[in-house]
Amino acid sequence: MILSMTGFGKAVKVYNNKKITAEVKSLNSKQLDFGVRTPQNYREIEMELRNSISQALLRGKIDLFVYCEPIEGAPSGTINIPMLQQYKAQIEEMAKQLNLPLPEDWYATLLRMPDAMKTDAKSTEADEEELKVVKEVVALATKQLVEFRRQEGARLAAFFEEKIAAIQALLNEVPRYEEPRINKIKGRILDALAKIKEVDYDKNRFEQELIYYIEKLDITEEKIRLQNHLNYFLETMNSEEPGQGKKLGFISQEIGREINTMGSKANQADLQNLVVRMKDHLEQIKEQVLNVL
């Protein structure tokens, strides 16, 4: 079964009057592109978190957010106003340079930033038990994201099956146009010769040249290869092998190559119409393959 590269997971745990929240989101990317934002007191396990998520998600543009908030009624520190002033100035400058809108809710935006709260040195240090809770909550969020990917993957699989079936149906229509197409080409050449008066030619040699010309327009090999690629696409999609996205992308390129060759050899309107419709379905496949892990 294929997995989508896009997904989102969120998990929350309470530890020692703190609410620890982890959010993991993933978008499509050719490689693994990782971004992590955690409070200062969790930085020592940042690399471990990065490695565990990388092993679970394999590929994509991954963003991990971990933030810690005091639960209601629990003693907390003071707001780190100088730090938030710096964040606000940087966000305003970023919005100006990138022509982006400013946040609608400054409070929510700023208070989620690392080190938004000032606490005494002792309380900022995370003990082993707290770091263990952080790892657990990140693992839960990652598991949720994988499940999201699985659900999206099932939707993509249904889409690909539909499109491959559509191309298959068009391929099955090709033989009905082949014999009339050859007869039409042959008749067109004979008509052209008949219009040339007082020209004598060797009919045996003409038949040889005609056979050679028609063989150049023959699409039997293209049909066989296209059929094999369609079967291979479905076989790869339904395999248990992880990370089929790139492979499906390569197969779709090969499908396109055979369809294009059929189009260049078609030399007949009905057959070319089938090719155009195949291309339309294939372009939709290529667009969605980019989202497959």
Could you read off the pLDDT of 136-154 as tens digits, one per residue? 999 999 999 999 999 999 9
Could you read off the pLDDT of 71-94 as tens digits, one per residue? 765 555 678 888 889 999 999 989
**Model confidence band, residue 201 (pLDDT cutoffs 50, 70, 90):** low
Query: Shortest CA distance to 108 belongs to which of 130, 88, 123?
Result: 88
Higher pLDDT, 47 or 191: 47
Higher pLDDT, 60 or 114: 60
Report pLDDT for 80.
84
Determine the average pLDDT of the residues in 179-191: 69
Q: What average pLDDT does the chain have?
A: 85
**Model confidence band, residue 65 (pLDDT cutoffs 50, 70, 90):** very high
Could you read off the pLDDT of 210-263 as tens digits, one per residue? 665 666 677 888 899 999 999 999 999 998 887 889 999 999 999 999 999 888
Can you tell me the distance from the alpha carbon of 250 to that of 287, in angstroms, rounded to the nearest whole number?
13
Higher pLDDT, 197 or 142: 142
Question: For the chain, which domains are there?
Answer: 78-118 (no CATH), 153-289 (1.20.120)
Find the angle CA(226)-CA(228)-CA(231) to the nearest 5 degrees.
110
Is residue 124 exposed (0-12), middle (13-18) or buried (19+ Cβ within 10 Å)?
middle
**Model confidence band, residue 208 (pLDDT cutoffs 50, 70, 90):** low
Q: What region, left, alpha or beta, does residue 198 occupy, with left being phi > 0 and alpha being psi -120 to 50 degrees?
A: left
Whether this model's pTM surpasses 0.75: no
Q: Quick check: 121 pLDDT over 50?
A: no
- Do 63 and 87 form a contact (C-beta atoms < 8 A)? no
Could you read off the pLDDT of 8-17 as tens digits, one per residue? 999 999 888 8
